[in-house]
């Protein structure tokens, strides 16, 4: 068998707006609402502004390595907006938009990326998982979360976000297989930004789509334009409804990573500038703004006011982060174990004696 996958027809890519923000298909009435769409737009602008500040902090030595979400705001905000508060998010490392939407603070996210254990101790969504750096490790965690919901008879869902490269890991296959067999309430959102660090999708898999990997697990695979936040939110809402009824789902959101993989990467070494320039014409924030302006729901004065508002909000969070006292060195033990193993207790005591 070749990459044509005999007998299989890839699902269509669901989209409501084209690259220029013009309507492709009738927008669901509940989403074609000024307040709803401005809320989504505001969240994407906030996410991008936060992203720019985080990169700036890293470049000036005030933050550790950081994974930018530039160009992928619609995936993150769209899925976050569709979730209920009682659902549980298991994010990868570019899901700042969803985390912010669900109530994780900017200060906590900055703490996480500075290596501060307190940044994973959310004051808001207490049951949401911290950022998963090991690729695909969060997929198996999602199985456990979803199984707990099923055993308790709770109408909740686990939402696991992963990149395209993570779908090449065994963890992913094992997770969707378990969810299919046990009919667990889980949604796996593949943030297909076309690059797993320097590896393009075409060199990661012979499968024509990533959504079709769900077929082997006996569950639904859906494709959506990941730069169309309206489509992402709509598809995600429907997927969550299905998942809560015991039909796990896989969503492939097609987008593009406009920035480097992380601040430790230089994408110019493996990616053509012309390719990136072309992709900038599809980016999600401008796309929705064009639609809002076309509907006369958004004006230049609205944009200027929003930019001032979110910049002030982000600057305030950055100052609060920079003013935090450093975490105790013993946190590396205290945040890892509920009960410290005896073999490590001595090390913790030595560290405490050395640093107070």
Query: Is the distance from CB of 193 to CB of 257 less than 8 angstroms?
Result: yes
321 Cβ contact list (under 8 Å, min separation 6):
106, 107, 110, 111, 114
Is 261 an active-site residue? yes
**Separation between Cα atoms, residue 75 and residue 69, nearest integer Å:** 10
| Cα maximum dimension of the chain | 67
Query: Is the distance from CB of 354 to CB of 332 less than 8 angstroms?
Result: no
**Separation between Cα atoms, residue 73 and residue 70, nearest integer Å:** 7
Is 335 an active-site residue? no
Is 270 an active-site residue? yes
Cα angle 164, 101, 92 (rounded to 5 degrees) comes to 25
**Separation between Cα atoms, residue 177 and residue 108, nearest integer Å:** 34
**Catalytic residue from among 94, 233, 261, 287:** 261
Which DSSP letter does residue 283 get?
-
**Catalytic residue from among 8, 34, 268, 270:** 270
**Catalytic residue from among 102, 247, 257, 279:** 257
Instruction: Tell me the catalytic residues.
Output: 257, 261, 270
């Amino acid at each position: 068998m070749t990459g044509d996958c005999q007998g299989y027809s890839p699902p269509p890519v669901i989209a409501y707006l084209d690259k220029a923000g013009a309507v492709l298909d009738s927008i669901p009435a509940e989403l074609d609402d000024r307040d709803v769409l401005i809320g989504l737009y505001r969240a994407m602008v906030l996410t991008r502004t936060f992203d720019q500040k985080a990169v700036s902090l890293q470049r000036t030595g005030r933050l550790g390595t950081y994974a930018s979400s530039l160009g992928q705001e619609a995936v993150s905000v769209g899925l976050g907006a569709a979730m209920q508060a009682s659902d549980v998010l298991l994010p990868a490392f570019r899901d700042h938009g969803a985390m912010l939407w669900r109530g994780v603070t900017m200060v906590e996210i900055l703490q996480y990326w500075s290596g501060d254990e307190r940044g994973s101790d959310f004051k808001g969504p207490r049951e949401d998982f911290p950022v998963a750096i090991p690729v695909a490790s969060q997929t198996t965690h999602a199985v456990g979360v979803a199984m707990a919901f099923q055993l308790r008879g709770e109408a909740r869902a686990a939402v696991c976000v992963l990149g395209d490269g993570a779908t090449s890991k065994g963890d992913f296959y094992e997770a969707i297989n378990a969810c299919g067999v046990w009919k667990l309430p889980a949604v796996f959102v593949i943030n297909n930004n076309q690059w797993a660090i320097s590896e393009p999708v075409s060199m990661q898999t012979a499968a024509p789509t990533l959504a079709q990997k769900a077929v082997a697990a006996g569950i639904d695979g859906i494709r959506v334009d990941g730069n169309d936040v309206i489509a992402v939110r709509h598809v995600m809402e429907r997927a969550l409804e299905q998942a809560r009824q015991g039909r796990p789902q896989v969503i492939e959101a097609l987008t593009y990573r406009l920035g480097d993989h992380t601040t430790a990467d230089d994408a110019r070494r493996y990616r053509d500038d012309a390719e990136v320039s072309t992709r900038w014409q599809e980016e999600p924030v401008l796309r929705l703004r064009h639609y809002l302006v076309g509907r006369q729901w958004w004006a230049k004065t609205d944009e200027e006011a929003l930019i001032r508002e979110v910049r002030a909000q982000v600057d305030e969070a950055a100052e609060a982060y920079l003013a935090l006292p450093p975490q105790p060195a013993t946190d590396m033990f205290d945040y890892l174990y509920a009960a410290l193993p005896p073999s490590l207790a001595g090390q913790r005591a030595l560290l405490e004696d050395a640093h107070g």
